[in-house]
């Protein structure tokens, strides 16, 4: 456990062993076959999504799901883009501040909880952590009333607030685990210099937190981007994020245009996929730290 | 341990603060009563976001711009699930005291929840102001008037729910006369049986609400218009043998339907009939728009007739517009309501949407063939309120009926249990 | 700490020591206190009233307390029991599925292998996609038609000659919910794989070497060396997947419909109650979900809390 905790919050290098060269064995061939079979299975839905998104209206029917397009067309992609792009823009406006603010709060908390062992620090940490696991259904009704009572406008502002608040537990966790690994001497040295806690945080801790920030930002970005529950309850299709717009697109139209729905699903997933492909290793690190401790 | 006690004190303080906040949120303050003002724009909340519904809205907006050039129209349309998504969002907005200036709602019992919650204002005065009282048929006016004698919305269009749509080619291929008329459900079932033997889906349906719509037409066919209306005012016994017989017919009909029904919405089940994968479907007459969109000819490619046993009865639902309490632009909303109620507005809107005007003084000669016949029926037929579309019962009752229906059609309850659950749903 | 004076001094010192950190923590503490614990209490209070109508939900009509009656009614109703059974079924299949598949993938990728990065990326990518987006395609794949009308996976089974595998997926009233777990397994197996893979890599090479030198068989190596090292990771994965599954909502909303009895789970019930203005029952369902989650999570948090102390 400890070893894993130490790793948490840092990008994990999963490919550190050198790949072997040459040497054909039955065992290895078998292993490749099984792995490739799984690749095919995993890609089945992707195949359907992709080919359907390039099909014309009549062609994009459930019974023809496995056939290639009769005529390849990018019309669906154009329609999906024009329908979803305002929502995508709103999602960006919502996700970026939400991720930044919750990361900052998490870093403050993580720093305090890892370094200043005030009495009951562990209990406070555990209480914060529990917030990560609550089913949001258990607070949804009064939450609705609370957000109304506070006068936060529906749509982007409400969603930023909610993603920040309910992001605190996970961001606190990741930062705390990371700061646990920062050598105590570094901070002691600052203390000896007479720096207060805030200054220690700003001058010593913050600059070395970049890897953790990347992890937390990716994590928060992905979960806020993919959220649907808060979107349903706290925004409308006029001011809501892309998951809501996509759901409307896929279930709303009079004449269901499957090609457009599928192209839309791919569009809505592109940002998170891109983040994942470009920053995959940090993403894994984020997953690790999120899971291992809670 | 001391530390632990202190932190639990902190937690307690935080919790108390939270409660205080939550309590404030709960009260939410008294809603402001809408006076006048805000004539510069109007936000119109609908679920007309696509297809013919959007076309209808666009046509209506065009008339609105001519009649009220100084008021800017703001489109608040929300797509999704025959309005279910829109209703959820509307509920949130109304509670947030952030109402649109006017919103679309089915006329009838569905409005009762908004009235009980003091979220919409009476528009009875506007009927006099715009001269609407005599423009709508008396049957409709009865259904629009709430228990307190006030009217809370202005209808824009009328739809009929008890319509069977058929694919003529499929019927011909199965050796059935596509022009056959059926006196009652059992005559229809004979042909459904033939279709089943021929290997096509005899009757297409979709998810739960379309099954409830089928159920309502079966009740209507077997109980008659009076018996059906009696279900909603307590004069027909839900637990009685007549309802049981109707539910048996419903069960038989469900046996002829497509197995993937619960995963589909109505455009998909309609498409099954259009594509010739199913022979019949029961759907409200908004389905007409799908045929028009795909250039199908009434009488050549498809037929439409009242559900067997309901000839002479018009199972009605109406879209209407309201005046929410605390609307930011009440004058804009009144301008919109005036256009909605006007003959020009109703003609333009309904021609594009494929429905029929609520007003009786609109010239129907330029409307489509189906619409003309529907308008004729609307004037001559007995009018009853649709269950599945909120005209007959409030939302909570409809939800309970829908749940019971889904439970029954998915095979989790038998007929007796279904009947007693329906009775319980209507009892309260 | 025998005398009162010393205790008081200790308290004062503790306050001074705790003051600054608490100030920094305060914004988060207030937010979490209000939005998590405050709302849990407010929700519980709501669930103990007769707030079942639109007029009451908006404060136009009074509500009165009914104690635990909503809970008793819910837990006693056949419909809610069906939702709970569905939830258990879904959770078990989802958990077993992701753990088995995830472990298998990690095990296959553990030994050095060319193209490891490729396989890892393919297996992991579904978790970057939202349930709403993947629901769009899974709704097709899990279509229940068979025979001539078949589409989706049933059609694929026909094409590759596995007709016998055709089934009606989630349209089975007793076990249909299991079909909804399939896309969930598809999305999260890669995540479990990543955890186990990191776990495997976290085991010192010397440990394996030592076991091999001792002549331990491959099975014994796993049984006595690797599995014990992996068990904390397995526990974490179980907790994460488990609590995700208890909250299942998005996927059911996008593949099935909220009204469908086959796929009801408590989260869907709560949504339907809320849509029908039945706030008291909606709140009660929420609290029941919370209790279920707490039964699983609290012992786990206490457990890790203790481990930290050591």
pLDDT tens for A91-134 read 999 999 999 999 999 999 998 888 777 777 888 888 898 888 88
Residue C194 has pLDDT above 80, yes or no: yes
Give the pLDDT mean for B262-278. 89
Confidence of residue B194 (pLDDT cuts 50, 70, 90): very high
Q: Which fold has domain A75-291?
A: MetI-like fold (1.10.3720)
- Total number of residues shown for chain A: 294
Cα angle vertex B149, ends B146, B155, to 5°?
Answer: 50
Q: What's the CA gap between B215 and B406, in Å, rounded?
A: 11
Residue B120 contacts residue B326 (beta carbons within 8 Å) = no
Q: What's the CA gap between B72 and B44, in Å, rounded?
A: 11
Q: What's the CA gap between A232 and A136, in Å, rounded?
A: 12
Q: Which chain B residues contact residue C14 at CB under 8 A?
A: 2-3, 6
Shortest Cα–Cα distance, C273 to chain B (Å): 9
Q: Which chain B residues contact residue A140 at CB under 8 A?
A: none
Confidence of residue B21 (pLDDT cuts 50, 70, 90): very low
Q: What is the CA radius of gyration of chain B?
A: 24
Residue A17 contacts residue C112 (beta carbons within 8 Å) = yes
Q: Which chain B residues contact residue C257 at CB under 8 A?
A: 81, 207-208, 262-263
> pLDDT above 70 covers what percent of chain B?
89
Q: Is the alpha carbon torsion for C90, C92, C93, C97 positive or negative? A: positive
The residue among C67 and A198 whose pLDDT is bigger is C67
Q: Which two tokens stand for residue C103?
A: 């472990």
Q: Which chain B residues contact residue A251 at CB under 8 A?
A: 79-81, 85, 265
- The reported pLDDT for the residue numbered C266 is 93
Alpha helices in chain A (DSSP H): 2-7, 26-53, 75-115, 121-130, 140-149, 156-180, 184-192, 197-199, 210-226, 229-234, 242-252, 258-278, 280-292
Task: Give the residues across from B383 on adjacent strands.
Answer: B314
Residue C56 has pLDDT above 60, yes or no: yes
Q: Which two tokens stand for residue C85?
A: 């059974």
Q: What is the pTM of this model?
A: 0.85
Q: Looking at chain A, which subunits does it touch, using at least 3 CB pairs closer than 8 Å as the criterion?
A: B, C
* CB-CB under 8 Å, B268 with A149: no
Give the pLDDT mean for C119-125. 88
pLDDT tens string A165-197: 999 998 998 888 888 877 777 777 776 676 677
> pLDDT above 90 covers what percent of chain B?
54
Q: Tell me which range, A39-43, A209-213, B44-48, B84-88, is most confidently predicted by mean pLDDT.
A: A39-43
Average pLDDT value for chain C = 85
Q: What's the CA gap between C64 and C61, in Å, rounded?
A: 10
Q: What's the CA gap between C218 and C240, in Å, rounded?
A: 30
- The reported pLDDT for the residue numbered B81 is 55
Of B94, B259, B262, the CB nearest to C260: B262
Residue A1 has pLDDT above 80, yes or no: no
pLDDT tens string B124-178: 999 999 988 888 888 888 888 888 889 999 999 999 999 999 999 999 999 999 9
Q: Looking at chain B, which subunits does it touch, using at least 3 CB pairs closer than 8 Å as the criterion?
A: A, C
Shortest Cα–Cα distance, A52 to chain C (Å): 10
pLDDT tens string C235-283: 888 888 887 887 778 888 888 888 899 999 999 999 889 888 899 999 9
Of C122, C133, C305, the CB nearest to A269: C133
Q: Kindly state the DSSP code that residue C59 receives in the 8-state scheme.
A: T
Q: Is the alpha carbon torsion for A135, A136, A140, A143 positive or negative? A: positive
Closest to B379 measured CA to CA, from B140, B133, B107: B140
Q: Looking at the predicted complex, does its ipTM rise above 0.95?
A: no
Q: What's the CA gap between A17 and A19, in Å, rounded?
A: 6
- The reported pLDDT for the residue numbered B16 is 39
Closest to B173 measured CA to CA, from B152, B145, B159, B194: B194
Residue B292 has pLDDT above 90, yes or no: no
Q: What's the CA gap between B10 and B8, in Å, rounded?
A: 5
Residue A246 contacts residue C135 (beta carbons within 8 Å) = no
C262 touches chain B (CB under 8 A): yes
C228 three-state secondary structure? helix
Of B7-16, B124-133, B297-306, C25-34, minimum mean pLDDT range: B7-16
Q: Which chain C residues contact residue B207 at CB under 8 A?
A: 257, 259-260
- The reported pLDDT for the residue numbered B170 is 95
Closest to B47 measured CA to CA, from C255, C268, C54, A236: A236
Give the pLDDT mean for A70-87. 90
* CB-CB under 8 Å, B14 with C10: no
B119 touches chain C (CB under 8 A): yes
H/E element, C3: none
Residue B34 has pLDDT above 90, yes or no: no
Residue B368 contacts residue B295 (beta carbons within 8 Å) = no
Residue A292 has pLDDT above 50, yes or no: no
Q: Which two tokens stand for residue A219?
A: 């994590």
Residue B4 has pLDDT above 60, yes or no: no
pLDDT tens string A136-169: 888 988 998 898 888 888 889 999 999 999 999 9
- The DSSP result for C106-136, as a single string, is HHHHHS--TTHHHHHHHHHGGGGS-HHHHHH
* CB-CB under 8 Å, B88 with C257: no
- The reported pLDDT for the residue numbered A12 is 45
Give the pLDDT mean for B365-377. 89
Average pLDDT value for chain B = 86
- The reported pLDDT for the residue numbered C91 is 94
Task: Give the residues across from A228 on adjacent strands.
Answer: none
Maximum alpha-carbon separation in chain C: 87
* CB-CB under 8 Å, A44 with C43: no
Average pLDDT value for chain A = 81
Give the pLDDT mean for B257-276. 89
Of A230-239, B23-32, B341-350, B399-408, minimum mean pLDDT range: B23-32
Q: Which two tokens stand for residue A176?
A: 């705390």
Closest to A106 measured CA to CA, from A57, A44, A178, A54: A178
Q: What's the CA gap between A55 and A68, in Å, rounded?
A: 8
């Amino acid at each position: 456990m400890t070893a894993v905790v130490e790793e948490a919050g840092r990008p994990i290098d999963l490919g550190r062993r050198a790949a072997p060269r040459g040497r054909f064995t039955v065992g290895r061939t078998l292993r490749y076959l099984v792995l490739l079979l799984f690749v095919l299975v995993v890609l089945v839905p992707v195949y359907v999504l992709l080919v359907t998104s390039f099909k014309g209206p009549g062609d994009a029917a459930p019974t023809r799901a496995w056939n290639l397009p009769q005529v390849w067309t990018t019309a669906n992609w154009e329609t999906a883009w024009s329908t979803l792009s305002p929502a995508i823009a709103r999602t960006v406006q919502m996700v970026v501040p939400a991720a930044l603010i919750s990361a900052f709060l998490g870093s403050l908390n993580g720093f305090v909880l890892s370094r200043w062992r005030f009495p009951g620090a562990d209990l406070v940490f555990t209480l914060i952590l529990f917030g990560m696991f609550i089913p949001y259904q258990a607070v949804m009704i009064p939450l609705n009333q609370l957000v109304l009572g506070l006068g936060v406008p529906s749509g982007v502002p409400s969603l930023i607030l909610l993603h920040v608040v309910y992001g605190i537990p996970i961001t606190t966790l990741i930062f705390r685990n990371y700061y646990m690994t920062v050598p105590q001497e570094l901070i002691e040295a600052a203390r000896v210099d007479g720096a207060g806690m805030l200054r220690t945080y700003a001058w010593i801790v913050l600059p070395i937190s970049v890897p953790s920030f990347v992890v937390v930002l990716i994590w928060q970005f992905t979960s806020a981007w993919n959220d649907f529950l808060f979107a349903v309850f706290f925004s409308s299709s006029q001011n809501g994020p892309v998951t809501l717009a996509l759901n409307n697109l896929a279930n709303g139209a009079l004449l269901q245009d499957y090609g457009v729905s599928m192209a839309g699903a791919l569009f809505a997933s592109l940002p998170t996929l891109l983040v994942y492909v470009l920053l995959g290793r940090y993403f894994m690190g984020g997953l690790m730290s999120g899971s291992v401790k809670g | 341990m001391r530390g632990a006690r202190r932190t639990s004190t902190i937690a307690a303080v935080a919790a108390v603060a939270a409660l205080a906040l939550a309590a404030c949120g709960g009260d939410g303050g008294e809603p402001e009563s809408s006076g006048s003002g805000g004539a510069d724009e109007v936000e119109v909340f609908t679920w007309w976001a696509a297809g013919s519904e959007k076309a209808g809205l666009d046509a209506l907006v065009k008339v609105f711009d001519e009649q009220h050039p100084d008021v800017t129209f703001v489109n608040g349309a929300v797509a999704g699930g025959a309005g279910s998504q829109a209703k959820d969002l509307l509920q949130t907005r109304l509670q947030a005291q952030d109402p649109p200036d006017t919103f679309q709602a089915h006329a009838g019992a569905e409005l009762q929840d908004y009235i009980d919650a003091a979220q919409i204002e009476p528009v009875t005065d506007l009927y006099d102001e715009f001269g609407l009282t005599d423009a709508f048929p008396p049957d409709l006016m009865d259904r629009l008037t709430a228990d307190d004698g006030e009217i809370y919305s202005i209808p824009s269009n009328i739809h009929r729910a008890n319509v069977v749509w058929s694919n003529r080619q499929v019927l011909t291929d199965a050796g059935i006369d596509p022009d056959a008329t059926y006196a009652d459900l059992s005559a229809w079932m004979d042909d459904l049986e033939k279709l089943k033997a021929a290997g096509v889906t005899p009757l297409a349906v979709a998810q739960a609400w379309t099954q409830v719509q089928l159920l309502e037409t079966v009740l209507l066919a077997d109980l008659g218009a009076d018996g059906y209306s009696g279900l909603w005012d307590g004069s027909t016994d839900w637990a009685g043998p007549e309802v049981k017989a109707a539910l048996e017919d419903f069960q038989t009909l469900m046996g002829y339907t497509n197995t993937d029904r619960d995963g589909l919405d109505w455009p998909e089940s309609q498409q099954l009939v259009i594509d010739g994968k199913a022979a019949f479907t029961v759907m409200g007459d908004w389905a007409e728009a799908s045929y028009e969109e795909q250039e199908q000819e009434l009488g050549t490619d498809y037929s439409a007739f009242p559900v067997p046993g309901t000839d002479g009865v018009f199972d009605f639902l109406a879209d209407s517009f309201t005046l929410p309490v605390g609307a930011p632009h009440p004058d804009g909303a009144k301008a919109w309501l005036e256009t909605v109620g006007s003959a020009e507005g109703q003609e333009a809107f309904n021609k594009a949407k494929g429905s029929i005007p609520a007003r009786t003084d609109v010239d129907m000669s330029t409307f489509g063939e189906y619409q003309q016949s529907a308008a004729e029926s609307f004037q001559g037929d007995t009018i009853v309120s649709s269950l599945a579309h909120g005209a007959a019962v409030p939302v909570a009752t409809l939800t309970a009926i829908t749940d019971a229906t889904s439970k029954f059609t998915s095979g989790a309850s038998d007929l007796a249990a279904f009947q007693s659950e329906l009775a319980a749903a209507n009892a309260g | 700490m025998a005398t009162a004076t010393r205790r008081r001094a200790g308290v004062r010192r503790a306050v001074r020591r705790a003051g600054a950190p608490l100030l920094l923590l305060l914004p988060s503490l207030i937010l979490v206190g209000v939005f998590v614990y405050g709302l849990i209490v407010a929700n519980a209070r709501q669930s103990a009233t007769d707030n079942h109508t639109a007029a009451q939900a908006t404060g136009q009509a009074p509500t009165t307390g009914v104690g635990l009656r909503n809970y008793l009614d819910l837990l006693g109703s056949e419909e809610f029991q069906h939702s709970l059974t569905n939830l258990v079924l879904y959770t078990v299949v989802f958990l077993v599925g992701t753990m088995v598949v995830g472990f298998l993938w990690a095990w296959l990728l553990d030994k050095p292998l060319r193209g490891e990065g490729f396989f890892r990326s393919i297996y992991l990518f579904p978790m970057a996609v939202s349930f709403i987006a993947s629901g769009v395609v899974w709704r097709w794949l899990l279509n229940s038609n068979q025979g001539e009308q078949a589409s989706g996976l049933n059609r694929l089974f026909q094409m590759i000659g596995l007709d016998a595998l055709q089934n009606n997926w989630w349209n089975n009233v007793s076990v249909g919910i299991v079909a909804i777990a399939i896309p969930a397994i598809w999305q999260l197996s890669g995540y479990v794989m990543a955890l186990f893979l990191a776990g495997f890599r976290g085991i010192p090479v010397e440990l394996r070497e030592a076991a091999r030198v001792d002549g331990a068989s491959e099975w014994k190596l796993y049984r006595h060396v690797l599995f014990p090292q992996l068990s904390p990771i397995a526990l974490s994965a179980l907790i994460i997947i488990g609590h995700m599954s208890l909250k299942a909502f998005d996927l059911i909303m996008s593949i099935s419909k909220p009204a469908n009895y086959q796929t009801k789970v408590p989260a869907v019930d709560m949504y339907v109650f809320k849509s029908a203005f039945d706030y008291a029952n909606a709140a009660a369902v929420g609290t029941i979900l919370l209790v279920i989650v707490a039964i699983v999570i609290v012992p786990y948090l206490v457990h890790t809390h203790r481990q930290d102390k050591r």
